[in-house]
Amino acid sequence: MINQQVFTNAQIVLRNEVIHGTVVVESGKIVDVSEVMIDANGAIDCQGDYLIPGLVELHTDNLERHMKPRPGVKWPPIPAVLGHDAQVVAAGITTVLDAIALGEVNDGAQRVGLLSSMTSAIDTAREQGLLRAEHLLHLRCEVVYPELLTLWEQFRESPALRLVSLMDHSPGQRQFVKIDKYYEYYQGKYSLSDAEMDAFIERQLANAEQYSDKHRQIVSADCRDRGIALASHDDATITHANESAALGMMVAEFPTTEEAARVSYEKGLKVMMGAPNVVRGLSHSGNVSARELANLGLVDILSSDYVPSSLLLAAFTLSQVIDNISLPQAISMVTAGPAKAIGLSDRGEIVSGKRADLVRVGLFEDIPLVKGTWVAGLQVY
């Protein structure tokens, strides 16, 4: 017996248009999309709400926040993963790449200590069928970290690995081209005295000189050989963007200037910007506005980064505040765009043959509200 579901009376967001009609799902896949209303027994009447593809998230630190809900507090790993999972499906995210950092910039930080427990908890929850969204892996490699290659060897063979980003948080690089911003960020984050901060910078510069280029070359070559998508991170200059393109990057993750974003885009990298940046109308760290880049046609993908619910809100916001971005185009930035960037060809669009990852969205004063989330035809929220 074929398991069939019918979603009718919906504003269906397709690749290039929005139609009022019906989507039919069988055995977890979309089998028909039409402008016909169906009054079938058991059909879901969407009451004119939007029906969009499930959101695809490439970079979120949200799991880390569940693992460390407060400074000095560690939450049990499985409950942390399940709390994170519940939050993302409630936000309409059906595929999520959990961003796991390989390396630290400060010996006193806790990220490396959480690595094994985070990844093991995700694997266990997946194996036990406890997860509602599909969870894949994004490894964020801190290239100035002395032990990066040791950590890379531990996680490079994970079957869930879909994206690797190369980060350089040393003074004068990427996000911190301006040294005053480096002082402001890390001195505030770690409560360092001026003398401690000077010593911290000296260590980072030494590590950068010894390890940065070596690690960048080794990890990027390994990813290219194995067909794993590569992302740059916080490129700030034309030189940075050209270097990333030369290394075979496929995604430009959070370029901090218009110049870096434009060169990345022209070189064929998919430019990813933060959804919180879109929602707020500006970057929290004083970098280029994602809305400005979107208005210039330089944004391909949005990421929720540190606020899962921002992903859907940002897509609707772009379609509302920028005249040359339609709702289908904005929705593509959080569905088909990210899916295609990492080779997930079976999702991201409402079209026959694709996986039935679907989200029903209503509006309250132009604010999108998730009314239901389905993964491969199964309602998970």
Domain locations along the chain? 4-379
Instruction: Give the per-residue pLDDT at 353.
Output: 98
Distance CA 78, CA 136 (A): 16
Instruction: Give the per-residue pLDDT at 142.
Output: 92
Contacts 24+ apart (CB under 8 A), 6-9: 6/38, 6/40, 6/42, 6/43, 6/44, 7/43, 7/44, 7/46, 7/51, 7/358, 7/360, 8/37, 8/38, 8/39, 8/40, 8/43, 8/44, 8/45, 8/46, 9/37, 9/45, 9/46, 9/47, 9/48
Region 63-79: mean pLDDT is: 92
The CA-to-CA distance between both ends of the chain, in Å, stands at 25
CB atoms within 10 A of CB 179: 11
Reference 298, options 246, 340, 252; nearest CA is 252
Region 348-359: mean pLDDT is: 98
Q: Is the pLDDT of residue 105 over 80?
A: no
Instruction: Give the per-residue pLDDT at 202.
Output: 78
Q: Is the pLDDT of residue 104 over 80?
A: no
Distance CA 176, CA 183 (A): 9
Strand-by-strand arrangement of the 270-274 sheet = 55-60, 93-102, 134-142, 161-167, 229-233, 251-253, 270-274, 301-303
The pTM is what? 0.92
Question: pLDDT tens-digit profile of 291-311?
Answer: 999 999 999 999 999 999 999
Distance CA 233, CA 186 (A): 18
Distance CA 192, CA 75 (A): 27
Give, in order, the Cα–Cα distances in Å from 379 to each of 122, 123, 131, 314, 349: 21, 22, 12, 24, 18
Q: Dmax over Cα atoms in the chain, in whole Å?
A: 73
Contact (CB, 8 A) for 40 and 5: no
Instruction: Give the per-residue pLDDT at 40.
Output: 84
Say if strands 367-375 and 134-142 run parallel, antiparallel, or are unpaired.
Answer: unpaired
* Main-chain dihedrals φ then ψ at residue 269, nearest 5 degrees: -75, 145
Query: What letter would DSSP give residue 73?
Result: B
User: Which CATH number describes the domain made up of 4-379?
Assistant: 3.20.20.140
Distance CA 2, CA 25 (A): 10
Instruction: Give the per-residue pLDDT at 206.
Output: 84
Q: Is the pLDDT of residue 379 over 70?
A: yes
Instruction: Give the per-residue pLDDT at 175.
Output: 60
Instruction: Give the per-residue pLDDT at 189.
Output: 65
Q: Where are the alpha helices (DSSP H) in 68-212?
A: 77-90, 111-127, 148-155, 179-190, 194-207
